[in-house]
Amino acid sequence: MFGSRKSSSISNHHTLVSRATRLEGDIHFAGELQIEGKVVGNITAEPGQDARIVVAETGLVEGDIRVPSAVINGFVQGDIHSSAHVELAAKAVVAGNVNYVSIEMVKGSQVNGSLICNDTRKAPEPLLISSQIAETVAD
């Protein structure tokens, strides 16, 4: 009974940096981290965790972010490294590069840097039509 623990997930670990908070230093977290205030430092999800960061409209991060999943609607000055999904909401401003596997950008979001896709899946081969089939279709 006491020895059994459910595996950790985003839903049971929440951390909030409120609007009135300014935090200086690096953050290492698991679960979900919501930033409504200001963080000066790098933010990193613990390895092997299904973690997510949410930077609210009032949130500001000065540093790099390394997480599986990110939802940005505030200001990030630094690079974002996501191993899964990045969502840039309407008020998002990123002054840095965004490294992603999957990305969603809403009208109004801004990236002042590069978008770098790190999807390791093989791109589909281009469809080649043999000359014989092409001649048949042309007739």
39 vs 49: CA distance, rounded Å: 21
Q: Sort 43 into a burial class: Cβ within 10 Å, 0-12 / 13-18 / 19+.
A: buried
Structure tokens at 115: 């978008």
pLDDT grade for 128, boundaries at 50, 70 and 90: low
Model confidence at 124: pLDDT above 50: yes
pLDDT at 1: 36
Structure tokens at 93: 């401003």
pLDDT grade for 139, boundaries at 50, 70 and 90: low
pLDDT digits 0-9 by tens, 65-106: 999 999 999 999 999 999 999 999 999 999 999 999 999 999
What's the average model confidence in pLDDT over 60-68?
98
> For the chain, which residues make up each domain, given as ranges?
10-138
Handedness of CA 45, 48, 49, 54 (dihedral sign): positive
- Look up the pTM and report it: 0.79
Better-predicted residue by pLDDT, 118 or 134: 118
pLDDT digits 0-9 by tens, 14-49: 999 999 999 999 999 999 999 999 999 999 999 887
